[in-house]
């Protein structure tokens, strides 16, 4: 039976552990914090847990579930403990820079991104079935061994996720559009409202803000560390999408300035029908 190692027992790592254990895999967990290891054992999140990466010497597949900046250092620290057949994958939300950095370090590496999560963090937020029906993107490159791909495909299937496969660059460009750009567009909205210098108007705006503002500002008012991590990791694709967004916004500004209502109506008809081609909201938890 495949032995799975997981480094980083937070929301994603812990939830992966729960689901894989429930599917009969043996799961070994590593966390920097002894407290987290204790919780993992107490709550039966993993079969074994340790603060020492040496525990993963017997693992066949290892998921690196740390924050993005810790992924490469973790792989470097892990390598001396592994047999060369072991497959390493990660769950970082950006792929090109990670794949570029890890590929030379470990032959049996394949980048991955399970696109599920909640606002909660840490092992206590870990839950079963977090990935059911959610996209799980694998980003193999030319030299990725077929066996590494096959092993991951099996595990993605085991947790009920929906498998996608694309290049790291395509992944990063797609998530810039639907995840990173929305965050910045939304942050810009809050930022510009706060810049209103008429105190009375700002006060009224605060009182009047309702579901439209609430939803449009949600991701821009989230955890600053997450926004920062994303911007650092996917900087180029974010700048590309932001530049394009700026052009489209300029287009909206111009049609309103020129009172070109026919064109504005056409754009708004396109955004109404276009939005329906994105996502599968019914699958989403509310």
Q: Which stretch binds a copy of itself (CB under 8 A): 39-47, 62-70, 79-87, 236-244?
A: 236-244
Q: Which stretch binds a copy of itself (CB under 8 A): 28-36, 84-92, 96-104, 234-242?
A: 234-242
Decide if residue 223 touches a copy of itself (CB under 8 A). yes
Residues 18-77 that bind a copy of itself (CB under 8 A): none
The CB-of-70 to a copy of itself minimum distance in angstroms stands at: 17
Decide if residue 244 touches a copy of itself (CB under 8 A). yes
Pick the closer one to a copy of itself by CB: 77 or 256. 256
CA dihedral 218, 222, 228, 233 (to 10 degrees): -60
The CB-of-121 to a copy of itself minimum distance in angstroms stands at: 15
Q: Are 87 and 152 in contact (CB under 8 A)?
A: yes
Q: Which stretch binds a copy of itself (CB under 8 A): 5-13, 62-70, 122-130, 209-217?
A: 209-217
The CB-of-59 to a copy of itself minimum distance in angstroms stands at: 29
Residues 134-173 that bind a copy of itself (CB under 8 A): 134-135, 137, 164, 166, 170-171, 173
Task: Give which of 235, 119, 249 is closest to 192, Cα–Cα.
Answer: 249
Burial class (CB in 10 A: 0-12, 13-18, 19+), 80: exposed
Q: Which residues pair with 27 in a beta bridge?
A: 4
The CB-of-265 to a copy of itself minimum distance in angstroms stands at: 5
Pick the closer one to a copy of itself by CB: 62 or 219. 219
The CB-of-205 to a copy of itself minimum distance in angstroms stands at: 4
The CB-of-38 to a copy of itself minimum distance in angstroms stands at: 32
Which residues touch 81 (CB under 8 Å, ≥6 apart)? 53, 54, 56, 57
- Applying CB under 8 A, among 33, 44, 128, 206 the residue interacting with a copy of itself is 206
What CA–CA distance (Å, rounded) separates 63 from 7?
6
Pick the closer one to a copy of itself by CB: 50 or 170. 170
The CB-of-283 to a copy of itself minimum distance in angstroms stands at: 9
What CA–CA distance (Å, rounded) separates 158 from 128?
12
Evaluate the CA torsion angle 227, 233, 236, 237 in order and state its sign.
negative
Detail the DSSP E strand segments found in 92-219.
109-114, 135-139, 162-165
Residues 254-283 that bind a copy of itself (CB under 8 A): 256-257, 259, 261, 264-265, 267-272, 274-279, 281
The number of beta carbons lying within 10 Å of the beta carbon of residue 6 is 29
DSSP 58: G
Own/partner contacts of 207-216, CB < 8 Å, gap of 24 or more, are: 213/189, 216/186, 216/189
Decide if residue 241 touches a copy of itself (CB under 8 A). yes
The CB-of-244 to a copy of itself minimum distance in angstroms stands at: 5
Please count the CA atoms within 13 angstroms of the CA of 90 that sit on its side-chain side. Answer: 29
Pick the closer one to a copy of itself by CB: 128 or 206. 206
Residues 86-115 that bind a copy of itself (CB under 8 A): 115
Q: How remote is the C-alpha of 121 from its chain's centroid?
A: 13
């Amino acid at each position: 039976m495949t032995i799975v190692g997981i480094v980083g027992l937070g929301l994603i790592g812990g939830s992966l552990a729960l689901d894989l254990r429930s599917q009969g895999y043996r799961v070994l967990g590593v966390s920097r914090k002894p407290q987290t290891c204790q919780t993992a054992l107490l709550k039966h999140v993993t079969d074994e847990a340790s603060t020492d990466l040496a525990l993963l010497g017997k693992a066949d597949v290892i998921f690196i579930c740390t924050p993005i900046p810790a992924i490469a250092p973790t792989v470097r620290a892990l390598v001396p403990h592994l047999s060369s057949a072991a497959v390493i994958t990660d769950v970082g939300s950006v792929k090109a820079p990670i794949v570029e950095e890890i590929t030379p370090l470990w032959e049996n590496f394949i980048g991955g991104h399970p696109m599920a999560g909640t606002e909660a963090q840490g092992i206590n937020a870990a839950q079963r079935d977090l990935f059911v029906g959610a996209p799980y993107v694998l980003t193999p490159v030319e030299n990725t061994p077929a066996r590494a791909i096959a092993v991951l495909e099996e595990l993605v299937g085991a947790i009920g996720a929906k498998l996608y496969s694309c290049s790291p660059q395509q992944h990063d460009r797609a998530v810039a559009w639907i995840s990173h750009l929305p965050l910045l567009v939304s942050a810009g909205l809050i930022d510009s409202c706060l810049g209103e210098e008429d105190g009375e108007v700002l006060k009224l705006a605060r009182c009047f803000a309702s579901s439209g503002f609430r939803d449009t500002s949600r991701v821009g008012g989230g955890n600053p560390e997450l926004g920062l991590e994303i911007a650092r990791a996917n900087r180029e694709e974010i700048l590309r999408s932001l530049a394009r967004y700026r052009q489209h916004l300029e287009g909206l500004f111009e049609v309103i300035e020129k009172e070109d209502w026919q064109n504005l109506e056409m754009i708004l008809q396109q955004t109404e029908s276009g939005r329906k081609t994105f996502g599968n909201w019914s699958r989403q938890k509310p």
